[in-house]
Chain A
């Protein structure tokens, strides 16, 4: 009976020791996983950030194409009039027209460009979208 009672604290100590071991393992695992999770989160945040930037670029390009097409159609409707740069949102649309007189009329060539407003025509900057078009107006007819 006495020896049986003596064995109880030994069992409790062993269980306590095993429990401590599990906590230690859990802590080591948690610290490791925290590092892995932080790395994964950094990668994911980078990827989502790049995706957001790409989406913004796509939205800007779509807007630039629409604005440039509007300006090109406006030029086609009236090629001889002067056009001031048009500001629309963050973009500025410019139309430069060259006139080439020819037999029987005049050929108007236009280059329409959409620029970011803050960097329009600054050195090294490139337009978001640009296209070239032309319009021939015969003498005596529209």
Chain B
């Protein structure tokens, strides 16, 4: 071992510093990617939950409307009479359930436009009318997502 060939102090530090920086970047990228994957999966789970919460509320609404319409149809009540009874039923429903589902409705000609929505923005719009026998008929059943225009959607803010 020749003393003249001894490495300069600090050269190893530079090498380790670069190596450490590369490892730190690698670890941060791995952590950020994993966290983003989790955020996407959680978002997907929330959307599915909200979609089916609306679906459940809508189906319960249909059951409630049918409970009102079926006896009247059996008695031979007219369309306007049944629709008026359905409107009264809708007016009695709370605007917001305990689970956060909001309900709104409006008369749309000879039909009722019903809407259920979740705080996350998932919404279900249904149009129900009466068929020739006076029974409830679903004319449309549409699930949508409302994105608030003021607040841009951030999939994952990095926190």
Binding site for B on A (CB under 8 A): 15-20, 22-23, 25-26, 29-30, 33, 36-37, 40-41, 43-44, 47-48, 50-52, 54-55, 57-59, 61-62, 64-65, 68-69, 72, 76, 100, 102-105, 107, 109, 129, 131-136, 138-141
Q: Across the interface, which residues of A come within 8 angstroms of B69, CB to CB?
A: 104
Overall SS of chain B's interface: helix
Q: A18-B3, A40-B23, A62-B40 are in contact. List 5 more A-B contacts (CB 8 A).
A: A15-B3, A26-B6, A62-B44, A102-B66, A136-B60
Contact indicator B59/A107 (Cβ below 8 Å): yes
Contact indicator B135/A33 (Cβ below 8 Å): no
Is B84 in contact with chain A by the CB < 8 A criterion? no
Q: Across the interface, which residues of B come within 8 angstroms of A15, CB to CB?
A: 3-4
Contact indicator B135/A37 (Cβ below 8 Å): no
Contact indicator B37/A26 (Cβ below 8 Å): no
Contact with A along B62-102 (1 / 0, CB 8 A): 11001101110000000000000000000000000000000
Select which of B1, B13, B20, B34 is within 8 A of A40 by beta carbon.
B20
Q: Across the interface, which residues of B come within 8 angstroms of A19, CB to CB?
A: 2-6
Is B8 in contact with chain A by the CB < 8 A criterion? yes
Q: Across the interface, which residues of B come within 8 angstroms of A132, CB to CB?
A: 52-53, 56
Q: Across the interface, which residues of A come within 8 angstroms of B33, CB to CB?
A: 51, 55
Q: Across the interface, which residues of B come within 8 angstroms of A102, CB to CB?
A: 63, 66-67
Binding stretch for chain A, among B24-32, B104-112, B145-153: B24-32
The docked-state distance in angstroms from the alpha carbon of A30 to that of B10 is 9
Q: Number of B residues contacting the other chain (C-beta, 8 Å)?
A: 49
Which 9 pairs from chain A and chain B are nearest by CB? A19-B3, A104-B70, A22-B6, A51-B34, A54-B34, A104-B66, A134-B56, A58-B37, A51-B30
Q: Across the interface, which residues of B come within 8 angstroms of A18, CB to CB?
A: 3
Q: Provided the pairs A19-B4, A69-B48 are in contact, do residues A36 and B63 lie with their beta carbons within 8 angstroms?
A: no
Select which of A25, A29, A50, A55 is within 8 A of B37 by beta carbon.
A55
The docked-state distance in angstroms from the alpha carbon of A64 to that of B48 is 11
Is B136 in contact with chain A by the CB < 8 A criterion? yes
Residue pairs across A and B with Cβ atoms less than 8 A apart, 7 shown, are A37-B20, A40-B23, A54-B31, A103-B70, A104-B70, A134-B60, A136-B66
